[in-house]
Amino acid sequence: MFEQIAFYFFSAATVVLFLITAFSKNVLYAMSALAAGMVMISGFFFLLDADFLGAVQLIVYVGAVMALYAFGMMFFDATKDVKEKNAPSYLVVLLGGLSALLLVVMFAAPILGSNIEASYPPIEGISNPKSVGLVLFTKYLIPFEVAALMLLVAMIAGIILAGKKMDISLTDIEEDIAISEEEEMSLDEKDGEK
Amino acid sequence: MDNILSVLIFFPAIAGLLGFVIDKNSIRAYGISVTVIEFVLSLVLWASFDGTSAAMQFVELVPIVPDFGISYYVAVDGISLFLVIMTTLMTLIGIISMSVKSEIKNMVITLLFLEMTMIGVFVTLDVIVFYLFWELSLVPMLYIIGAWGGPLRVYAAIKFFLYTFTGSLIMLVGILFLAFTYHDAMGGYDNVGVWSFALTDWYQLKLDVDVQLWLFAAFFIGFAIKVPMFPFHTWLPYAHGQAPTIGSVILAAVLLKMGTYGFVRFSLPLFPDASVMMIVPIAVIAIIMIIYTAMVAYAQEDIKQVIAYSSVSHMGIIMLGAFAMNTQGISGSIFQMLAHGIVSGALFMLVGMLYDRRHTKLMSEFGGLALVMPRYAMIFGIMLMASVGLPLTMGFVGEFLVLIGFYNVSPILTILAGTSIIVGAVYMLSLFKKTFFGELTNEKNKNLLDLDARETFSLVPLVLIVIWLGVYPTPILKPIDVSVASMLELMEAKATKPKTKEFIASMRSDNKEEN
Amino acid sequence: MIGLNHYLIVSGLLFSIGLMGVIRRKNLLMLFFSTEIMLNAANIAFAAASYFYNDLAGQMFAFFIVAIAASEVAVGLGLLILIYKKNGTLDLDDLATMKG
Amino acid sequence: MENLVYIALFAPFVSSLFALMFVMVPKQTFVGIVASMLLFISFLASSILAYHIVMTNEVIYVRMMDWIVVGNLSIPFGFVADHVSVTMMVVVSLVSTVVHIYSIGYMDHDRSFNRFFSYLSAFVFSMMVLVMSDNFAGLFIGWEGVGVCSWLLIGFWYHKKDVTRDINPSISPSWAANEAFIMNRIADLGMLVGIFIIFWNTGSLQYDVVFPKLSEIAVISPEILITAAIALFIGAMGKSAQFPLHTWLTDAMEGPTPVSALIHAATMVTAGVFLVIRANPLFGMEEVAGVSYFIASLGTFVAFFAASMALVNRDLKRIIAFSTLSQLGYMFAAAGLGAYWIALFHLAAHAFFKALLFLGAGNVMHAMHDELDIFKMGGLRKKMRWTWGYMGLASLALAGIWPLAGFYSKDAIIESAFNEGNLILWAMLVITAGMTAFYSFRQVFLTFHGDERYKEFGIHPHEMYKYVLIGMSPLAILAVVAGWGKDWFEGFVTNLLPAYKMSEHTHHLVTTLTIIVSVFAVSGILIAAFKYIRGLKRSEKMENSFIYRLLANQYYIPQLYAEMISKPYAELSNIFWKSIDMKIVDATVDAIANIVYKSGDGSRKMQSGNLSNYLAWMTFGAVALLIAALISSVLG
Amino acid sequence: MLGQISITMQELNLQTLIPMLIPICGGLLILIIDLIKENLHKSFYVMMTILILFVDFGSVLSLVVNDRGFFDVILVDGIAIVTQLLILVTSMLFIPLALTSKRFHEFSYPEFFALFLFMIAGFQFMVTSDNLILIFVGLETASLSLYTLIAMHNRSNSYEAAVKYFTMGAVAAGFFAMGSALIYATTGSVELYAIKDVLGERINEPGLLFVIIGGGILLLVSFAFKISLFPFHTWVPDVYEGASAPLAGYMSIVPKIATFVVALRVFGVYIDLGIEPIRIIIMTLAVLTMTLANIMALVQEDVKRMLAYSSISHAGFVMAALALGTTKGNVGIFVYYALFMFTNLGAFTMLWISRHKKRRYSLRFDHPYEKFAGLIKVIPMGAVVMALFMLSLAGVPPFSVFWGKLYVMSAAVDAGYIWLAIVMGLNSAVAAYYYLKLIVYMFLKEPNRDMNTVYYNISKPLMVIIGIAVIVTVTSVFFFQQLLSYVTYMIDYSVI
């Protein structure tokens, strides 16, 4: 019973909040709704016995991602209403509605397999974070490390892209002064040939 | 000696590469020397060719992609031998007579590459390598038309390239399907069976009639555009109209022959049933080509366009002969390929020489040229007579054999096709009259120079050949005859429908009567 | 009883909402919000399936999706800053110099 | 003997090549002399051969080499000297020699003197090939060869420009040359078809193989023979200018007069008759009697038809051309009736007197500075006695006056028509004989007698060179005596050709018939004399009458051809080019290319540059794919 | 309670990881060197990168075929090896292009080379796994690096390009996640070999077909985006235009071939199970892609955009081979790309050589056709080389792409899809037009400038790269057999 109430509550809340995110004119509202929606989603995770995932969701999204977005927003001075020439609404409704319809039709199918053996069942009597850790650091160690690499890449990317060095573009400036020695020599050679 | 064909193919290409380092002023001499050597080599080939044997000779077989059955497989028989010689000859003559002034180095090198591809097409028995040369020949031609052509040259060049390219891609699908069929027939599916693109292997393949018809259609599109057959011919007037003289000469003399050669080499022996079933449609198209394009030629105002359309008309005769299914017709068709190659080549050269002098090709600009350019007029006249098929010129032998061959298939169609000798005379004589006869009215023509030594030197050999082979075609007809007879035998053996067998046999039995 | 389908349908709806946002938004920042929604929708599906199959692989996937989302935000924001510095706006309509 | 065959054949060829060497240089009289001598050598060789055959009755076969050998088709360069061909050889080489000699004088002032001899000798060579070949293909070589030489020679004065038909009915030499060539080609197609039929049914083209096999084929399928005969005769119609392919012959008079004499009177135009005679085993068969009858009828018709046009013509050469046409009709009538030897006899006799007539006309032209209108002549007898004599003699021969050549040969034809019991043909031929006499002498009288009308045009006529006149004498002699050897000739050629004997009935009436014909002929001459001997009296009324104008305009046939064939052909060609080739065939190709290109222009709009659009496309794609998945999963 | 987990090193088979570890370590090494000593010349980093890639190449070659490692996450089958080799060769050809005579922004960062190596590692992970998680993470690693590399070119076009690519990539990632979720929900597994087994059992359950196909479709959307199939291709021309020319050439090969491998693994499952709709849908997309991209390429005014469309079209070509589901088709994919790689990279390098800092011939484009007018008269060799590339791309024999086309078309014919082969043929014919257009400009138009404007950006390394590309393009006929037999051998040893 509790499960049902919680499910419907979280469903309604996420749908409404994300609708606000998608349709609000105010960036602040949109972002707040997004953050709130993320929290609600973590509710699903707790409901589904994925405690670790729920915690990660809260930390990463509400903590990190939202903080990043908030920074960005301040940078872009986007607290006021955004004037958007939004895409025509019929298109949105048509494509969005159709996709919703199709996905719902698809998901309404008897998807749950009856005799599917779990390849990595949680071990009885062990808390969720622990069993997650167990799988994560054995089977999924490689993806985990790759994810670390990915984050490193993202970090480097963020640093480079937002860095000062990007302000002056070496691509765009002509560089008659800045010819390297080697090239100077090759130029001399050419002159000599002439 | 065994590798003479490879030498023939690659000698011009290597010479072309080396040509890049040769000085601009020496390049023509270089080009002439190379083509002379090439021509002599082709004569050596002829000399060592056994004309009494129908077998493929000078065979070279080097697998290139054994997993996929592609190999470098070259050989000549009576059908291809003379096309090779004609190619080397016309390239040589073309280079001698060439009047291009700008970028002559590029021109010579391009021509040498073109020569390689043309010879490659005629001597290759591996279908993929054949296709390779076939497509590759478009590129130098594209450049020749596009770089040295008239005002519409780019349009003409692209039209030429795209049109033929499209057709041959459809042919490629046919080739692949045929290879697949062979693979299937040779043992099962997927990596079990043997792949082969060797024509001689394919000759052994018996195909269902339906399959034959489809494949025939695929090959037909590729070849028909090249020939060019009505209604795929409209690229030709543009290409000829815009191309420089040397381009037109090679195009008319050799490139068009690739299409008809393809029909004889591929369509007939590979798809005997389909070929026999298609005799009437093809003949009807051929007759349309003969009459319709002859009439279109008559309506032209530009000398070169007349000859361009006349090419289409003559190709109609060649097509008709190829589908006569007897030695007379097919041998005649091959002989006519040679004849048309030399005659139309010479005619294009002649027009080019006029164009060099006056920078116009419009008939209305001329008239009475025979007065100021008698030698020119005489050679033009001889070539014209060869073109309209006067006995004792090369043109007659082919045309006569084609018609006599096809008569056994259908008298009515032959009579219709025979109007070629009338309509051909109409446009050619009218061209001759408008250009050479009448009063010399145009002031600009009064001081035209007659042929100079170089021009004469390039034309006289052609005149001699036209007459020599008109009087004594046996040295050429004999090997052709032998090869064609064996090809017909193969077709009869291969045909799946009894009706086809009967038909080919009936065509052939007429031949046997006296032999 | 709430079954897998319930969760999946919610997930599907959220995904569609994200998709609508993606189509609709012209402001890049807000567009990025919508892509986050789409990723999160998938997370719900993974978590639900994981729960009903009693299998941890789904949670793993969701976990990695979270990581991916976070990385994307970092790179995305970097790009936004570049654009903003250059154009002074985040409107997509002003970001259409290359076309045709 | 074989060498003689080669000499007879190749002497003209050598002559042609010899003259060709000098084609680029100004006139060299010795070219003409050498050519004439070579021709004379050919004549001598022919004569010796003829003598040999007369003496030994032995046919000489010569096989020089193979020409075309493909499959079972084997065509050699083979030549035969038999009774028929040797007759032709003698006639051809003799007339040629005379014409060559004549041309030295006639072409005296022409700057293309050397070229002329080259062409003329080439013609003789072709003609020799034609008559000497031992197979149909060889005959066709000659057949086309003479066609080309005729084209070259008609158009010899190619530099004259085109004028309208009112000024010159032939428009221009080059026009006339093309007309002749093309018309001949139409007929040649028929000839080719005939050759094809013969080949595929007998397996050979050699006369001596083909003819014996004909009877076998007749058993199986007579239609084949009929078709072959028709096809061959179509070929003959072209060369011999039979209706409806006759218009080129009169236009061919644009060529130099020696050409008209040699080609368009004595030799080439008779090739058609020769073909029918050669192929007599075919034409003489029971099964193809219908065709032969048609030939006879057509011949008779043409004889009359051409004669009628000659009645009113004012052009010296055209009158003779029409008369040639008419006489060819006679020959065909004879051949069609089965009297092949008579046809051949008339052919030979006609060659002599007609060539003489033309050469005489050439003298007149030479004297009159190329003026041809007989209305502008008159009284030339005083200035040109020799020519008058020659032409008068030839005209008498033509008119069939005893004892000249024409009397014997023509009379025999008319008799054979009677003999076949076909009185209509007979009557027409008799009437035509009268008409022939009339127009021949109308011409003679208008040219040589009466008032000297030329004076008002400021022309000072003079007689031809002596050597030319002497050179013409053999023809004159033959025009007189050729008929006397009729019986001997019959005996000679019927060794090869089927004998034609008159029935008893005809035999009885032969004297009567001869008298009837002669009466017609003489009265024709008398009427002409009555009307014209004192001078030209023109009658406006008559000249404006419908019949006169119809005849003067050649029954409007050239105009008809121009309107019904040439113009529509040209217009149709233009339509084919501009409307079909350019606007339909080519435009379709370009349209396909354009559609592809345009659709590229259209579809690049999806590439708006706006990311929002791209995302919409992406969503659209996803939705569309999902719909496709839904549909396919419902279906499948 | 949890017992001891004992895992032997043998079991882990760490060898399989080495090819990925090498570029990662190399990237880190570069970062460290940068920390220690700044302002090293880019040539140093270029050579370092090449060396690292070379070592990597060797390590890939020493892999055992059909090996699994690390809890079966890593899958080293023939496909993985072939693809890694292709990726590494392309990368080695790409990286010297940084040594231009003019300075460009991205190459001034040592991080550029680090990111580049990380990207390669990401791609390698993508192709050496049949675990959807690792595929996804590898894909994102590579993609994020790539976005950055594009943006680092540092001009407004490249930002625009990066943003477009990034945004659409993010949406595509959403589709990938959702598709994987769907498949996971259906099968309870994220590993393809297991997925295949379960799907095989469940395929006939009522009402489930749409879900199974639908999951595939959602994945297809994300692959289609990467491979640039219609209508998910829209980013390609813009991104290629915005990116530097060599990177555009690189993008037309490496990300695509990596994604092809993933698609091959995923749809191999579907096609093996006989789910025909997926095959039809892929084929339709492939046909639409090659056709529409072709006709859009016809009307381009810029050579680079034209090449972008052309590479879309080529991708459609290869996708069609994938849909065939036969060994020959699969071999065709790799053979095609192996041959296409050199030519296409060569063509883009030619653009790179002629790249100016300022647009001289058009306000809008860097490489308008006019720029190449009359090249034959200015630099004949340059024109001939470019023409060779164009002819090769057009499929004119005997140049490299022809053999790929031939093989793919043959595969289509063998599989009974003759119509497909004809469509391919016709498309090649249409494509010939726009390749010819450039040839026409180079050879048949009058030149309008001096030599420097074309050889602006040349350097010896670039010429070497061009030389290699030309040699491979021209001599492909001689090694086609080796390539074919190697690839066939490898594919035969693969799972699908």
DSSP secondary structure string for all residues of chain A = -HHHHHHHHHHHHHHHHHHHHHH-SBHHHHHHHHHHHHHHHHHHHHHTT-HHHHHHIIIIIIIIIHHHHHHHHHHHT--SB----PPPHHHHHHHHHHHHHHHHHHHTS--S-SSPPPSSPPPTTS-HHHHHHHHHTTTTHHHHHHHHHHHHHHHHHHHHHHSGGGTS-TTTS--SS---HHHHHHHHHHHHH-
Measure CA D578 to chain center. Answer: 36
Between D558 and B515, residue with greater pLDDT = D558
CA distance E441 to E372: 6
What is the domain count for chain B?
Answer: 1
CA distance E159 to C83: 6
In sequence order, the 6+-apart residues with CB closer than 8 A to the CB of B149 are B156, B157, B242, B243, B244, B247
Q: Given CB atoms, is A42 within the 8 Å cutoff of chain C?
A: no
For residue E74, give the nearest of A112, A142, A172 by CB distance.
A142
Q: What is the per-residue pLDDT across D379-434, written as a single tens digit (0 to 9) for each?
A: 888 888 888 899 899 999 998 888 888 888 888 888 888 888 888 888 999 999 99
pLDDT at E359 over 70: yes
- The ipTM is 0.91
CA distance A193 to E200: 72
pLDDT at residue number D460:
82
CA distance D584 to D590: 10
Between C87 and E421, residue with greater pLDDT = E421
Q: What is the per-residue pLDDT across B89-142, written as a single tens digit (0 to 9) for each?
A: 999 999 998 888 888 888 999 999 999 999 999 999 999 999 999 999 999 999
Span D295-313, mean pLDDT?
91
Tell me how close the Cα of A180 comes to any Cα of chain C, in angstroms.
29
pLDDT at residue number A80:
61
Are D312 and D293 in contact by the 8 Å Cβ rule? The answer is no
pLDDT at B219 over 90: yes
Contact residues, chain D, for E291 at CB < 8 Å: none
CA distance C62 to A52: 11
Residues belonging to chain D with any Cβ–Cβ distance to chain A shorter than 8 Å: 612, 616, 619-620, 622-623, 626-627, 630
3-state helix, strand, coil split of chain E in percent (to 5) is 75, 0, 20
Measure CA E274 to chain center. Answer: 28
Chains E, C in contact, 3 or more Cβ pairs below 8 Å? yes
pLDDT at E337 over 90: yes
pLDDT at residue number B512:
45
Helices C57-87 and A141-162, packing angle to 10 deg: 10
Are E385 and E441 in contact by the 8 Å Cβ rule? The answer is no
For residue E133, give the nearest of C28, C61, C78 by CB distance.
C61
Q: Which of B160, B334, B404, B510 to mutate against chain D (most D CBs within 10 Å)?
A: B404
Q: What is the per-residue pLDDT across B280-321, written as a single tens digit (0 to 9) for each?
A: 999 999 999 999 999 999 999 999 999 999 999 999 999 999
Are D436 and D523 in contact by the 8 Å Cβ rule? The answer is no
pLDDT at residue number A79:
58
CA distance B381 to D177: 14
Residue B484 tokens read as 């064609």
Span B416-441, mean pLDDT?
91
Measure CA D341 to chain center. Answer: 20
CA distances from D101 to B283, D48, D98, D154, E435 (A): 52, 21, 5, 19, 71
CA distance D66 to D210: 18
Q: What is the per-residue pLDDT across E225-267, written as a single tens digit (0 to 9) for each?
A: 999 998 899 999 999 999 999 999 999 999 999 999 999 999 9
Strand partners of residue D315: D373
Tell me how close the Cα of B262 comes to any Cα of chain D, in angstroms.
22
Q: What is the per-residue pLDDT across B352-363, written as a single tens digit (0 to 9) for each?
A: 999 989 888 888
CA distance C4 to D99: 117
Please give the residue of chain D at the shortest CA–CA distance from C90.
D611
Span A62-91, mean pLDDT?
75
For residue C12, give the nearest of A89, A107, A119 by CB distance.
A107
E2 pLDDT tier (thresholds 50, 70, 90)? low
Report CB contact under 8 Å: E148, A116: no
pLDDT at residue number E1:
47
pLDDT at residue number E453:
66
D551 pLDDT tier (thresholds 50, 70, 90)? confident
With 0-12 / 13-18 / 19 or more C-beta atoms within 10 angstroms meaning exposed / middle / buried, residue B44 is middle
Tell me how close the Cα of E397 comes to any Cα of chain C, in angstroms.
31
Tell me how close the Cα of A61 comes to any Cα of chain E, in angstroms.
16
Q: Given CB atoms, is A102 within the 8 Å cutoff of chain D?
A: yes
Contact residues, chain A, for E219 at CB < 8 Å: none
Which of D629, C53, C11, A138 has the alpha carbon at shortest distance from E184? C53
pLDDT at residue number D230:
93
Please give the residue of chain E at the shortest CA–CA distance from A107.
E211
pTM to 2 decimal places: 0.92
Q: Given CB atoms, is E401 within the 8 Å cutoff of chain C?
A: no
Mean pLDDT for all residues in chain E: 90
Are E404 and E339 in contact by the 8 Å Cβ rule? The answer is yes
**CATH code linked to domain C4-95:** 1.10.287.3510
pLDDT at A32 over 80: yes
In sequence order, the 6+-apart residues with CB closer than 8 A to the CB of E479 are none
3-state helix, strand, coil split of chain C in percent (to 5) is 80, 0, 15
pLDDT at residue number E449:
67
Domain extent for B456: 278-515
Q: Given CB atoms, is E237 within the 8 Å cutoff of chain D?
A: yes
B207 is a domain residue: no
Mean pLDDT for all residues in chain B: 90
Partners for D (CB, 8 Å, 3+ pairs)? A, B, C, E
Q: What is the per-residue pLDDT across D172-190, written as a single tens digit (0 to 9) for each?
A: 889 999 999 999 999 999 9
pLDDT at B176 over 90: yes
pLDDT at residue number A181:
45
A178 pLDDT tier (thresholds 50, 70, 90)? very low
For residue D619, give the nearest of A95, A103, A105 by CB distance.
A95
Tell me how close the Cα of B484 comes to any Cα of chain D, in angstroms.
9
CA distance A27 to A33: 10
Per-position b or e across B231-244, b if 16+ CB within 10 A of its CB: bbbbbbbbbbbbbb
Tell me how close the Cα of A82 comes to any Cα of chain D, in angstroms.
16
B359 is a domain residue: yes
Span E68-90, mean pLDDT?
90
Report CB contact under 8 Å: D609, C99: yes
Mean pLDDT for all residues in chain D: 89
Partners for C (CB, 8 Å, 3+ pairs)? A, D, E
Strands E74-76 and E67-69: antiparallel
Q: Given CB atoms, is B440 within the 8 Å cutoff of chain D?
A: yes
Q: Given CB atoms, is B104 within the 8 Å cutoff of chain E?
A: no
For chain A, give every domain's residue range: 2-120, 140-194
Q: Given CB atoms, is A9 within the 8 Å cutoff of chain C?
A: no
Q: Which CATH architecture has domain A2-120?
A: Up-down Bundle (1.20)
Residue B5 tokens read as 């064909």
Report CB contact under 8 Å: D610, C97: no
Q: Given CB atoms, is E213 within the 8 Å cutoff of chain B?
A: no
The verdict on whether omega for the bond into residue E231 sits within 30 degrees of 0, i.e. cis, is yes
pLDDT at residue number B509:
61
Chains B, C in contact, 3 or more Cβ pairs below 8 Å? no
For residue B173, give the nearest of E402, E413, E443 by CB distance.
E413
- Length in residues, chain A: 194
Strand partners of residue D78: D63
DSSP D585: I
Report CB contact under 8 Å: C25, D612: yes
CA distance B345 to E108: 61
* Inter-chain CB pairs, C–D, below 8 Å: 31
For residue A153, give the nearest of E17, E71, E144 by CB distance.
E144
Percentage of residues of chain E with pLDDT beyond 90: 63
Max CA separation in chain E (angstroms): 83
CA distance A2 to D46: 132
Report CB contact under 8 Å: E111, A156: yes
Strand partners of residue D60: D81
> What dihedral angle (degrees, nearest 10) is formed by the CA atoms of D334, D335, D338, D343?
60
* Inter-chain CB pairs, A–C, below 8 Å: 251
pLDDT at A140 over 50: yes
* Inter-chain CB pairs, B–D, below 8 Å: 170
Report CB contact under 8 Å: E221, D634: no
Q: Which residue carries 């780019």 as its tokens?
A: B154
Span E427-440, mean pLDDT?
92
Strands B70-76 and E74-76: unpaired
Q: What is the per-residue pLDDT across E285-295, written as a single tens digit (0 to 9) for each?
A: 999 999 999 99
Tell me how close the Cα of C99 comes to any Cα of chain D, in angstroms.
4
Are B156 and B176 in contact by the 8 Å Cβ rule? The answer is no
Strand partners of residue C73: none
pLDDT at B222 over 70: yes
Contact residues, chain D, for C99 at CB < 8 Å: 607-610
pLDDT at residue number E431:
92
The verdict on whether omega for the bond into residue D212 sits within 30 degrees of 0, i.e. cis, is no
Which of A167, D97, A51 has the alpha carbon at shortest distance from E155? A167
Report CB contact under 8 Å: A99, C7: no
pLDDT at B162 over 60: yes
pLDDT at residue number B473:
92
Q: What is the per-residue pLDDT across D245-294, written as a single tens digit (0 to 9) for each?
A: 888 998 888 889 899 888 888 888 999 999 999 999 899 888 888 999 99
Percentage of residues of chain B with pLDDT beyond 70: 97
Contact residues, chain D, for B407 at CB < 8 Å: 193, 196-197, 200
Report CB contact under 8 Å: E213, D629: yes
pLDDT at residue number E452:
66
- Length in residues, chain B: 515
Tell me how close the Cα of B211 comes to any Cα of chain D, in angstroms.
28
Strand partners of residue D63: D78
Percentage of residues of chain D with pLDDT beyond 70: 100
pLDDT at residue number A28:
83
With 0-12 / 13-18 / 19 or more C-beta atoms within 10 angstroms meaning exposed / middle / buried, residue E239 is buried
B220 is a domain residue: no
Please give the residue of chain C at the shortest CA–CA distance from D600.
C100
Mean pLDDT for all residues in chain A: 81
Contact map slice: E 442-471 vs B, CB within 8 A: 443-444
Residue D420, helix vs strand vs coil: coil
Tell me how close the Cα of A168 comes to any Cα of chain E, in angstroms.
8
Which of D320, D322, D342, D317 has the alpha carbon at shortest distance from D332? D342
pLDDT at E98 over 80: yes
pLDDT at residue number B513:
45
Which of E345, E165, E319 has the alpha carbon at shortest distance from E257? E319
Which of E297, E239, E170 has the alpha carbon at shortest distance from C98? E239
Residue B349 tokens read as 């050269």
DSSP E188: S
Q: Given CB atoms, is A87 within the 8 Å cutoff of chain D?
A: yes
Are B334 and D70 in contact by the 8 Å Cβ rule? The answer is no
Span A3-12, mean pLDDT?
91
pLDDT at B347 over 90: yes
Report CB contact under 8 Å: E436, B162: yes
pLDDT at residue number B515:
37
Report CB contact under 8 Å: A99, D630: no
pLDDT at residue number B438:
86
